[in-house]
Amino acid sequence: MIGLGIILLILALLFPKLAALWFIGILLLIVGIILAVLGAMGRAVGGRRHYY
């Protein structure tokens, strides 16, 4: 998720008229970081220890 968020943010820089890419990219980046932090703390996310 983090990688996809970064890719979408890069695409948003290349195509500034597609404002939805900014929103989706930032959203995926934040969710990916939250899931990574929860997984690193040993907390089960969605029934799994690691979400990857």
Name the residue range of residue 12's domain. Answer: 2-38
**What is the domain count for the chain?**
1
CA-to-CA distance for 52 and 35, rounded, in angstroms?
Answer: 10
Widest pairwise Cα distance in the chain: 41
pLDDT tens string 1-50? 888 899 989 998 998 888 888 999 999 999 999 888 887 887 777 776 65
Please indicate, yes or no, if residue 45 is contained in any of the structural domains: no
pLDDT reading at 52 higher than 80 = no
Please indicate, yes or no, if residue 28 is contained in any of the structural domains: yes
Please indicate, yes or no, if residue 32 is contained in any of the structural domains: yes
Per-residue pLDDT at 36: 83
Per-residue pLDDT at 28: 92
Please indicate, yes or no, if residue 15 is contained in any of the structural domains: yes
pTM: 0.74
Please indicate, yes or no, if residue 51 is contained in any of the structural domains: no
CA angle 41, 42, 47 (to 5 degrees): 125
